[in-house]
Chains A and B, each alone.
Chain A
């Protein structure tokens, strides 16, 4: 049964996904670290200066990562289901 599996090792896929996520998040991290510390600006004054867009970007990246993981899990399951059906 194992020889029929054509999908890449789940570990490798996971690693690739994690690397992609890191590559996406790290630049944003850099931007966060360089924020001025003298006067903390809040979303109240001007949303652009409050850097709310950075938060939005981070949340979108996190959510996209989770959803991509769900999609890949879904596909792997479909492949497995097909295999089990054909083996009958």
Chain B
């Protein structure tokens, strides 16, 4: 239990976000209306994805320095969790866009950048599955993972800011200027970011442990 305190924190934070996220007052803004509460659920997906992808790159670098199966498994499962978070982020963003911008998808630099970045990570999974030799797979996918991260992050966070965009936080858009000052929303938003990020790490940890167990059982059968 001592080492699992952060899992308890995840449960508490997420339950708090579910309740407070729906009940705490929010600024009344035209078009957005109550959908501004999506901020507590859509945006943390991307925060969580970024954090877990950083962890994935960290383990890829560690694998290249000391090639052990464990680092490879950790990098892979972290990347997979990040891809899951990104897909959920795209889906939730699409729903939100439908009811505020009027379309499921717009050719917005932020949206297209995120979609391209997700495709780059999709190629990571395809690349991994195309090797039969474990060491070759681990080495090549580690290198690709580092490149994918280096390409994806500008697509998410830098390029959309250089042009005009509908999406808040990209280009010159004042849509969310009011919540920037709203302390009620911060009270929920920051715990939401921490909670969903921790959840991503929890899921990645479980997936890693399953893979490590599988490997150990397999090795035992060979021995």
- Number of residues from A at the complex interface, CB < 8 A: 20
Measured between alpha carbons, how far is A60 from B19 in the docked complex, in Å? 7
Query: For residues 1 through 30 of chain B, which have their beta carbon under 8 Å from a beta carbon of chain A?
Result: 4, 7, 10-11, 14-15, 18-19, 22-23
In this assembly, does A64 line the interface, its C-beta being within 8 Å of a C-beta of chain B? yes
Contact partner of A60 among B4, B18, B203, CB < 8 A? B18
Interface contact B22-A84, CB-CB below 8 Å = no
- Category for how many chain B residues contact A: 20 to 34
Interface contact B15-A56, CB-CB below 8 Å = no
A77 touching B217 in the complex, CB below 8 Å, given contacts A52-B23, A55-B22, A56-B23: no
How many interface contacts (CB-CB < 8 Å) are there between A and B? 45
Among the stretches B63-71, B113-121, B136-144, B206-214, the one at the interface with A is B206-214
Give the distance to chain A from B174, nearest Cβ to Cβ, in Å.
Answer: 24
Measured between alpha carbons, how far is A55 from B21 in the docked complex, in Å? 12
Contact partner of B22 among A52, A74, A77, A87, CB < 8 A? A52
In this assembly, does A26 line the interface, its C-beta being within 8 Å of a C-beta of chain B? no
Interface of B with A (CB < 8 Å)?
A: 4, 7, 10-11, 14-15, 18-19, 22-23, 34, 202-203, 206, 209-210, 213, 216-217, 220
Query: Could you show 23 A-B contacts with beta carbons less than 8 Å apart?
Result: A43-B34, A47-B23, A52-B23, A55-B22, A56-B18, A56-B19, A56-B22, A59-B18, A60-B15, A60-B18, A63-B15, A64-B15, A67-B10, A67-B11, A67-B14, A70-B202, A74-B206, A77-B206, A77-B213, A81-B213, A84-B216, A84-B217, A87-B220
Interface of A with B (CB < 8 Å)?
A: 43, 47, 52-53, 55-56, 59-60, 63-64, 67, 70-71, 73-74, 77, 80-81, 84, 87
